[in-house]
Amino acid sequence: MSSSKIFSAAEACRSIADGATVLVGGFGQPGTPNRLLRQLLAQGTKQLTLVKNDASEPGLGISILIEAGRVAKLIASHVGLNPLAVALMHEGRLAIEVYPQGILAEKIRAGGAGLGGILTDIGLHLDTDRPAQLVEVAGARYKIEPALRGDVALIHAARADTMGNLVFTKTAGNFNPAMAMAADLVIVETGEIVPAGAIDPDHVHLPGAFVDRLVLVEKSAADYGVLKHHALQA
């Protein structure tokens, strides 16, 4: 906890090194830290391992980094909405590792909560390229899923106070709370920063104890607006 947590996007992201493992919030566009991702693109950071639920859609979210060849590896739950990412994968230019969605979230949470991992029976029937470590507990078989942490987490919150307490909204929470617990450096973009005490302490979704840097962003229509192709036609 530094005496002021408020940074510009450039200041906040400057220390993100090539080759870093970066946890990125968001499920589709809601909760995706688009402004911080554009900063990574602008500053040229490369050889990244990104962890995000999905591969975003072309031109949006983490796809701007994937398209620019900055991503060596993507750890996700599905990439179906991004044909560019799938094509790069088939060309061998993007490594993709997929997990069941809730198990990916649990691996990240375990990292954040200082656990070594979790035991799960999901996907026990699968042969994957990842050799699974199996254990038997109370007569049942489980797969060990090791904890997953990032060097950095890029988070989008609806609102923050100056202490770094965060509030998420609607379906824009998704992976953000888990990821904000699980990185050495936690950078949060938000459209609104209010004074300490302005958020009811019972309404805080993630305490500022986890948050290192806050970036106030203007939410552009292109990155944060309604995507017409997912809307009903009038």
* Contacting another protein within 191-210 (CB under 8 A): 195-197, 199, 201-202, 204-210
Query: Among another protein, a second copy, none, what binds residue 139 when CB lies within 5 to 8 Å by partner kind?
Result: none
Residue 8 binds what, of a second copy, another protein, none (CB under 5 to 8 Å, by partner type)? none
The answer to whether residue 233 forms part of the interface with another protein (CB under 8 A) is: yes
Cα–chain-centroid distance for residue 49?
11
- Strands 133-137 vs 140-146: parallel, antiparallel or unpaired: antiparallel
Looking at residues 13 to 72 of the shown chain, list those that interact with a second copy (rule: CB under 8 A).
Answer: none
Q: What does each C-alpha distance from 145 to 66, 118, 124, 148, 198 come to in angstroms?
A: 26, 5, 11, 9, 39
Residue with tokens 């029937």: 125
Nearest alpha-carbon partner for 152 in 194, 206, 188 = 188
Closer to a second copy by CB, 45 or 190: give it. Answer: 190
Binders of another protein among residues 114 to 133 (CB under 8 A) are 114-115, 121-123, 125-127
Question: How many whole angstroms separate alpha carbon 209 and alpha carbon 181?
Answer: 9
What's the closest the beta carbon of residue 19 comes to another protein, in angstroms? 22
Looking at residue 212, its amino acid is D
Binding site residues, a second copy, CB under 8 A: 106, 110, 113-121, 133, 135, 137-138, 140, 142, 144, 146-147, 167-170, 201-203
